[in-house]
Amino acid sequence: MTLHRGTARDTDAVRPTGAAAYTDGSGTFHPSVRRLLAGEQIRGDETLDVDACVIGSGAGGAPVAAELAEGGMRVVMLEEGRWWETDEFTARTRSMTARLYRDAGQVTTVGGTPIVLPLGKGVGGTTVVNSGTCFRTPAGVLELWRERFGLDALTEQELEPYFRRVERILNVSQVPAELAGANTAVVRRGAEALGWSGDFIYRNAKGCVGSGVCNYGCPTGAKQHVGITYVPRAWAAGATTYTSVRATGIETSGGRARAVIARTRGGGTLRVRCGHVVVACGAIHTPLLLSRAGIGARSGELGRNLAIHPATALRAIFEEPIGLDAGVPQSYYIDEHGERGIMFEGAAGPPDGIAMSTPGIGAEHRELMRHYAHLSQFGIMVSDSTRGSVSPRLGRPLIHYRLNQRDADAFAHGIRRLTELYWTAGAHTVMVPLGGLLTLRDGDSGPLEGRRVTARDLQLMAFHPLGTARAGADPASAVVDGDLRVHGTANVHVADASAIPSSLGVNPQITIMALATRLARHLLGTGPPAGEPAPEHMARPKVGVHS
Ligand SMILES: Cc1cc2nc3c(=O)[nH]c(=O)nc-3n(C[C@H](O)[C@H](O)[C@H](O)COP(=O)(O)OP(=O)(O)OC[C@H]3O[C@@H](n4cnc5c(N)ncnc54)[C@H](O)[C@@H]3O)c2cc1C
Ligand code: SF4
């Protein structure tokens, strides 16, 4: 299948991306219409007839639904989670984690050292709880996709109008220094003293006040997650979101999908007859639904090739007060070691959130938390060459992932370099998550030197699962084609993280959204959006390619 190619008209318009754009709170979520139907209320069997059924309302699903509805299609979105009002976001980490994350944030890998892999669940998907960091797909990654997966159309030039559109709709703009928090200030001080490259992060925020709880639902509505940006656009154009509704099957005949079958929380069944099925359940759940429906399994790659962009974090104690709870938690990145696939990104947060994610128990943990006011924390992410898999087990995903030695070596390097940064910035204690919590004092990195680090020594989390229905031109080695159509089907597409064929080395949300937008416009036959303003500035981090 070839993509309908229109011509994106160039525009001289420039969209501001500075502090004024970031802090301007006008024009945030005020939908004139809400087209929400709660699955709790649906107890019987219902049949719907639409043009497109979009399954999942996160970074991939919401933009597709909005674009298709605005393009004139009748659209239904099915979402397993609930709709949450911004007013319900209390900033209390424990209860918000239980509400907004799947399995209360305890989804974990097996097969090696367990890695916690939090996933959002609700209208807006994981974007409701994410940190708001926005990086475009690195040029080298697109090159890899062309060379290795035959995704020839996915050039920077081709994707430019889609990124512009996504970034305008989400108001992607740069965190100003005054909202970045003292955690960023000390880390930046260290990076600058070492001459390392980095910058304040571009985020999808509008009217952000730096309250520091992005991962528990932004209580001001400043974070422009897709539940309050794209979903209301879809409603305004006539789409309906069914919440607490879980898609369980896709009926097919003659190589075409005919209907999506879903169970409602109220015990009923929805049958959505449609011309197009767009699956956007995320990289962990999309392969499960497709395999259950007997779709996309021909290449044998469905559920495989899972990249997760594993992460760990260092903590450091300073004489000066820091205050991890004030400011944008993820406000700065350092790409000095990007060529090795290592990215440092801010990882601040409120005390109970930090306590939950900090290793150790009992007296050791208490002692560390006692220093919270003087504590800094910064994350290390590795563009992984390890690949895992997702398979169904008793109706739930079993996620296998065993970090390889190459990636463990990258973590070892990242840990040494970030420790060096912390000494340079003036920390007196650095706590390294190696074999428990290794405490280093007064500039002494001796215990790290020459130490061989294996996966077993590390304490990892991961926030960016990708690749389990990967895109590629060859049906023998990929699940979807370059236009995200499932190979061998006429009208089933995948619009989420599972289609991304390799590690990105950066946070993935706007890559997913740009590809989802492209898919929608392809289905509509409208081609790339025209007249989208160019951002004034955008981050271009150094990122090594690790396939
Ligand atoms: C704590 C955290 C911080 C993050 N920070 C960033 C960041 O700063 N920047 C960034 O780029 N990325 C970040 N990410 C990752 C980013 O949010 C995800 O990569 C992105 O949201 C994935 O989009 P998706 O559409 O694939 O899936 P999701 O956004 O997860 O959406 C999938 C939706 O599908 C629903 N669903 C699943 N199965 C079914 C079914 N059978 N029927 C109906 N509905 C179903 C789910 O409930 C969910 O709502 C972060 C992630 C986490 C966990
Ligand atoms: S720092 Fe606070 S106001 Fe800003 S996006 Fe995060 S939660 Fe919202």
The CATH code of domain 14-97+120-171+206-302+469-535 reads 3.50.50.60
Indicate whether 495 pLDDT > 50: yes
pLDDT for 37: 98
- pLDDT band at 136; cut points 50, 70, 90: very high
How many angstroms separate the first and last alpha carbons of the chain? 25
pLDDT for 10: 62
What average pLDDT score do residues 204-222 get? 97
Distance from the alpha carbon of residue 158 to the mean position of ligand 2, in angstroms: 32
Higher pLDDT, 432 or 367: 432
pLDDT for 149: 98
Mutate to test the pocket of ligand 2, among 24, 220, 509 (most ligand atoms within 8 A of CB): 220
Indicate whether 547 pLDDT > 70: no
- pLDDT band at 31; cut points 50, 70, 90: confident
- pLDDT band at 7; cut points 50, 70, 90: very low
284-326 pLDDT, tens digit each: 999 999 999 999 999 999 999 999 999 999 999 999 999 999 9
- CA-to-CA distance for 60 and 78, rounded, in angstroms? 13
Q: Domain limits of the chain?
A: 14-97+120-171+206-302+469-535, 310-462
Threshold 0.75, pTM exceeds: yes
- Measured in degrees and rounded to the nearest 5, phi and psi for residue 51 equal -80, -40
pLDDT for 360: 81
What b/e string do you get for 478-511 counting C-beta neighbours within 10 Å, with b at 16 or more? bbbbbbbbbbebebbbbbbbbbbbbbbbbbbbbb
Q: Which residue has tokens 């992410």?
A: 381
Choice among 354-358, 447-451, 524-528 with the minimum mean pLDDT: 354-358
Distance from the alpha carbon of residue 210 to the mean position of ligand 2, in angstroms: 5
- 51 touches 275 (CB < 8 A): yes
Pocket of ligand 1 (CB under 6 A): 55-61, 78-81, 118-122, 125-127, 129-133, 215, 246-247, 280-283, 285, 289, 330, 463-464, 496-497, 507-509, 512
Higher pLDDT, 31 or 445: 445
Q: Report, as residue numbers or ranges, the catalytic residues.
A: 464
- 344 touches 383 (CB < 8 A): no
Q: What are the start-end ranges of the E strands in 164-279? A: 172-174, 198-200, 202-204, 240-243, 245-253, 256-264, 269-279
- CA-to-CA distance for 307 and 465, rounded, in angstroms? 6
Which ranges constitute the DSSP H helices of 90-217? 93-100, 139-149, 156-170, 181-194
365-403 pLDDT, tens digit each: 898 899 999 999 999 999 999 999 999 999 899 999 999
264-283 pLDDT, tens digit each: 999 999 999 999 999 999 99
Residues contacting residue 359 through CB under 8 Å, at least 6 positions apart: 365, 433, 436, 437, 459
